Structure formats: C-alpha cells, structure tokens
Amino acid sequence: MEENRFEVVYKKGMLSGCKIIVDIETGVNYLFAWDGNCGGLTVLVDKDGKPIVTPNIDRSDDDFR
C-alpha cells in the first residue's frame, strides 16, 4: 500500500470551499466540500452514476498538486 494513498488534485477556498481527492490505488475521485467547521465527502460520479476514475496518475508532475 502506498504511504500517501490519497492525493489532492484540486482545491479552492479557505473558510469555505472544496477539494477533489483521488485514491491513488483505485483512481476513484472524491469531492470534499466544507463551510466553516462543517463539511462532507462524497464519491464523484458520471452521468450514469458510475464513479469517476482517474487512470494512472503521474505523481512526478509539479502541476499535479
């Protein structure tokens, strides 16, 4: 198992905002949204309700983060 299994690929906001997080092992994308001290996490799905999967993440790319 990877030491850092999850990678943040998008982040917007400070006190309120969202992040897209990718599970490096499965490629599944998650959305974490927060407002103040509350938030929630959900899997991102396509129009058919299937999880969005990012294939083969290049972790060496500086623009990735």
- The yes-or-no verdict on residue 23 having pLDDT over 90 is yes
Per-residue model confidence as pLDDT tens digits over 36-55? 999 999 999 999 999 999 98
Question: What does the alpha-carbon distance between residue 53 and residue 65 come to, in Å, rounded to a whole number?
Answer: 17
pLDDT over 60 (residue 61):
no
Question: Chain-centre distance of CA 32, in angstroms?
Answer: 7
Cα separation, 7 vs 29, whole angstroms: 10
pLDDT at residue 10 above 60?
yes
Q: Given a cut of 60, is residue 2 above it in pLDDT?
A: no
CA distance 46 to 57: 19
The residues with which 26 forms a beta bridge, in sequence order, are none
Domain boundaries, given as residue ranges, for the chain: 1-45
Residues 6+ apart with CB under 8 A from 35: 15, 16
